[in-house]
Amino acid sequence: MSENSNDLRRIVFVAPSFAGESLRSAREITMLENVELLGICNHPFQNDDRSLFRDVVCVDDTNDFRQLLEAARSLQQKHGPLNRIVTTYEILLESVAQTGEALGLEGMSVETVRRALNKSSLIATLRQAGIGTARSQICADEASSREFAIQLGFPLVFKPLTGSGGLATWSIHDDEQLELALVLTDPSPARPMLIEECLSGQELCLDTITIAGEPRFYSLCLYRPSILEALEDPAIQWRCVMPRDISDDRYRQFIVQGLDAVRALSVGDAMTHMEGFLLDDGRVCFTDATLRPAGARIAPMLAHAYDIDPYRAWARTVLDGTFDGPWTRRFAVGTVFLRGAGSGAIESVEGFKTVEHELGEAIVDVRLPRSGALKASTYTGDGYVTVRHPETAAVEAALDLISRRVRINYSNSELTTFLKDEWVRRLQFYQFYKPAWEI
């Protein structure tokens, strides 16, 4: 169809850079009917994939609503009326929604984005709907923070109201750590912090495809261990596991409450990602939500579990308002994120050849740590290995084998970072977190 057709949809896709999973999402937009793709990014292209876009505008900060609006208006003046502006990045959802509203475009509203991403709004929405949440309080000064911490007792969790990647979420075990967190974050009415109970049990997530506010598809994934445990111990090789059978009674309440939570958030046409815990005492508590495809390689894992293209599923959801299922979960899938004790630069990786020989075709995706790169600061580590098998137990055994056999050698064999230095680094960079394989 010619670009002069009245049916042509001009879609603006926003990302800090077009690489990795964001580039795959952009490519799927171009595969939809009657679409012309435009882009806004922070960094110019380093390869030939610019051909996917009719035009691209680079700005200094895609998270700045004013810069985003100016760039979108320039694209509109040059190419004609825009249909939608979208992103797959959590930190950009609000600025993209603001831009869409300012231009009068269809799409997710600012109110919807804030209801899910601001933890204060999320907690209020979930509690009003009868959904389980952790005991918590928003603290806007040091005095109220200390007072609630005393009431709650250690350990407790301390985190900002926005942000992703877990880097600015801390488990506080004593008064000394609490004081350090207060000094670093300096809570105020303009910059409040959330203090909540430290949950124990199985951490997991529920991912959905939601059309007109109603979930049409859901998937369950287990975190082993919890994200906070993995953050606190850099030697832990963190895992995500998608069991093949998610109809087990132990997951029922988490799924029921998770789907009710998505309905309460009134997300329209969206992929959603909810995180929470199945507690040892049987309670279900949700802790976080977002309105984009899940990170931590969960989208590619969905591809292996269902034999689907999750990037096309996202594009069809947010731009066509359509779900192409139902789909059958044919495999269990698991990913282990490669990390290790030590610090500095990656010198070598040992043991993968042996693992590759033993597991064979069960390995479906690999990104080995890159020699010379600095050690990553978060739980998704320096690389990953993904496996799949019709039986969940076989996937679990494969992940155990990889964790035992694969070792990363760093330039410094011992961890030398003091707690304060580590917390400062995490606080500075959590909003700009990118996995090692997309840098």
Tell me, what's the pLDDT at 432? 45
> What is residue 431's predicted lDDT score, i.e. its pLDDT?
47
The set of long-range contacts for 248-253, using a CB threshold of 8 Å and a minimum separation of 24, is 250/278, 251/204, 251/220, 251/278, 253/278, 253/284
Mean pLDDT of 385-402: 98
pLDDT digit string, tens, across residues 257-282: 999 999 999 999 999 999 999 998 88
> Using the 8-state DSSP alphabet, how is residue 296 labeled?
T
How many whole angstroms separate alpha carbon 128 and alpha carbon 425? 36
CATH architecture of 135-197: 2-Layer Sandwich (3.30)
- Which two three-digit tokens encode residue 55? 């035009």
Query: Dmax over Cα atoms in the chain, in whole Å?
Result: 66
Edge-first strand order for the sheet with 156-160 is: 136-139, 193-197, 156-160, 170-172
Query: Which amino acid, one-letter code, is at 208?
Result: T
pTM: 0.90
Dihedral sign for Cα atoms in the order 429, 434, 436, 439: negative
Domain boundaries, the chain: 9-107, 135-197, 201-434
Q: Do domains 9-107 and 135-197 have the same CATH topology?
A: no
The confidence score (pLDDT) of residue 165 equals 52
**Tokens describing residue 104:** 């009068």
3-state secondary structure labels for all residues of 22-39? HHHHHHHHHCCCCEEEEE
pLDDT greater than 80 at residue 332: yes
Return the SS3 of 161: coil
CB 385 within 8 A of CB 402: yes
Question: Does the pLDDT of residue 426 top 60, yes or no?
Answer: no
Query: In the 8-state DSSP scheme, what is residue 188?
Result: B
In this prediction, residue 182 carries a pLDDT of: 87
* Residue 46, pLDDT score: 63
Fold of 9-107: Rossmann fold (3.40.50)
**Contact of 196 with 183, CB cutoff 8 Å:** no
Contact indicator for 238, 382 with CB cutoff of 8 Å: no
* Tokens representing residue 90 in the block: 């959590």
Q: Do strands 156-160 and 84-87 pair parallel, antiparallel, or not at all (unpaired)?
A: unpaired
User: Which superfamily, per CATH, for 201-434?
Assistant: ATP-grasp fold, B domain (3.30.470.20)
